[in-house]
Amino acid sequence: MLTLKNKLRDIRAHPIGSDIIDKLLLRLNVPSRLIDNPIAGRIPLTIIRILTGWLVGPGFFDTLLEVLNSEPEVPISTPVPPDPAWWKEAVFYQIYPLSFAEGGLRGILPKLDYLRELGIDAVWLSPVYDSPGDDNGYDVRDYYAILPKFGAMEDMDALIAGLHARGMKLVMDLVLNHTSDEHMWFQSALNDKGSPYRDFYFFREGSCEGSAPPNNWTSFFGGPAWKYYKDQDVWALHLFSKKQMDLNWSCPALREELYKMARWWLNKGVDGFRLDVVNLISKPPEMPDGSPFIGSLTGSVGAEHYFHGPRLHEYIEELRSEAFDPYRAFSVGETPGIGLQMGRMFSDAYRRQLDLVFLFDHLETPGHIRFDDYRYKLTYLKRFYMRHLNADLGHGWNALFFNTHDTPRMISKIDPEGKYGEPLAKLLALLQLTLRGTPFLYQGDEAGMQNQVFTSIDQIQDVESLGLYAELIKTMPPEDAFRRILAGTRDHARTPLDWHEIERQHGSSDSVWRFYQDLIALRRSSPAWIYGTLEFLRPKDKNLLCYRRGPTAEDTASAEDTASAEDTFYVEANLTPRNGRSHAPAIARLLLSNYTGASRTLRPYEARIYSLYPISKGPRP
């Protein structure tokens, strides 16, 4: 049990404490050496509270200790070889059905051969459930029905069968933190205090004699996190839009309904789920006020109380045992606010919770958030990978991605003018498919898609961006508010795919599309790319990312004379728009580059893959 008598090094040694410190350092753009040194490590929390109490406000340290003490375990650090699994070897592709192809599910079906030709092993399908569409399907009205604009259940059955017939799997988005306010459960609960669904949601009396929300929590989409229903004189919790009402996971009947629904989809043949904001499902019953200081850093007041709630791991363990394990279903969690150490507490195999989690700290450079207008420097990515990708030691696994339906296109964040669009698209692809982890492509990655050009707030459809804009114009000119929205709106990733452009690239031997296809084939050609060692080289050269992939020790010992045991590769990537120096060994044989033609130097954002002869055996004959 941690108390104020503990020292900073004790907090750093705790998985949640370590991640909280990392988040603060990242948000404030403070180097870790200010914390990770013997002098700072010996400072007790009592002293830190005295020194910082004026800044963080009352109750901050009590809340911090409460969150830390909710997790008594620490990640296992003894190295173990990774257990083979189909999802570690697979290349995933996310389909956002509103913009992937015309015709919804029927539009996806003719594209399955296209995905198979690209080399895709599994599709992650964003929501197609019946929904009012306030948050593009993440506000579910009926988990057991398909939104008519996407088709019918027969089309869903055809998609599952079509993927399986081509040797591919289907992972569906599952939204378990909230439902639409039009869901039958919520409508019954709202209008009938005696409804069996009343405890499925968070209904509370207001504060200040009912005239104010129950607490000061704010929504991720702007404004208070509570909606007032005048006719019923009650407030209901919504961490996202006003039509996405949070579910009360402390209610056993709710949990059983959700498990039953998940089993229903698995019985239909779905192979697993991507779990939307799954780490937010546990809220403390007291629902105390949030820290304004933390809210100023995270953008959401109150998040410290539910980003890692008191019964979170219990709920996820139960979800897995009751719904997933009987079907050997794959699960990947979207876990905003979770860092490296907590991520391992969710995904380490022995804990029987999730197979994989999405962590997001690589998507913005230190000191920035998504709605900041800035130029992303790839030199940060090197630091991130060197710390994260060798940290699991067989405990947990990495999800490798740069784009999703919730983020602007990474290429445009690095190069807003579009001068290096194609080399950057290929460089990101090369990193994603040669580092250790499971690649998740987002639709359009394979064509090098960039941000959309928006000229007016009237063109924006993203409910998050519109909510933020409404808040911003209260304190700044509309043109400044719109500029901020442009930097981070999710609509950049939700514009329709240009199938004419994809067809053109499909017919070109040096296109981004062909580069992805070649990389996926290369990844599949050797187990070294998946389960092999990852050794980062030239760590002090911030402008150059170099690493070696090779066979595991077990491969070498058990298959010393086989080609797979000898597969060793060298990868180098210039992380800047300036020419750089190549450090490829003399014995290296070039396999793939994101540029055509020979060059002694590494051109702007150039990345290369080489094959190396095994040093211990000498050149191959």
d(CA 329, CA 170): 11
Write the single-letter amino acid at 365. T
Token pair of 426 as six digits: 């290929």
**Cβ–Cβ < 8 Å for 579, 603:** yes
- The residue from 276, 406, 464, 491 that is catalytic is 276
Comparing C-alpha atoms, which of 345, 403, 344, 392 is closest to residue 370?
Answer: 403
449 residue type, one letter: M
Taking the C-alpha atoms of residue 42 and residue 39, their distance in angstroms, rounded to an integer, is 6
Contact 524, 167 (CB under 8 A): no
CA–CA separation, 268 and 93 (whole Å): 21
Provide CB contacts within 8 A for 48, sequence distance 6+: 8, 61
The CA-based diameter of the chain, rounded to the nearest angstrom, is 85
237 contacts 200 by C-beta, under 8 angstroms? no
Q: Report d(CA 358, CA 324) in Å as an integer.
A: 19
Q: Render the burial of 369-379: b for 16+ CB within 10 Å, e for the rest.
A: ebbeeeebbbe
Cβ neighbours, 10 Å, residue 2: 17
Cβ atoms of 608 and 584 closer than 8 Å? yes
- Rounded Cα distance, 454 and 436, in Å: 36
Catalytic residue chosen out of the listed positions 135, 334, 406, 446:
334
Count the neighbouring beta carbons within 10 Å of the beta carbon of residue 473: 15
CA distance 474 to 482: 13
Q: Which of 483, 220, 460, 222 is nearest to 373 (CA)?
A: 483
Active site residue 286: no
Question: Distance between CA atoms of 18 and 20, rounded to whole angstroms?
Answer: 6
Q: Which residues are CB-neighbours of 307 under 8 A, at least 6 positions away?
A: 279, 280, 336, 337, 338
Total residues belonging to the chain: 621
CB 443 within 8 A of CB 95: yes
Task: Provide the CB-side half-sphere exposure for 415 (13 A, CA).
Answer: 20
Q: Kindly give the residue spans of alpha helices, DSSP state H, lying in 305-350.
A: 312-319, 340-347
What is the Cα 72 distance to its own chain's centre? 25
DSSP class of residue 399 equals: E
Distance of CA 552 to the CA centre of its chain: 28
Contact 185, 429 (CB under 8 A): no
Told to judge if 479 belongs to the known catalytic residues of this protein, a careful annotator would answer no
The encoded tokens of residue 271 equal: 């192979």
Q: Can you tell me whether residue 500 is helix, strand or coil?
A: helix
CB distance 87 to 135 below 8 Å: no
Which residues does the annotation mark as catalytic? 276, 334
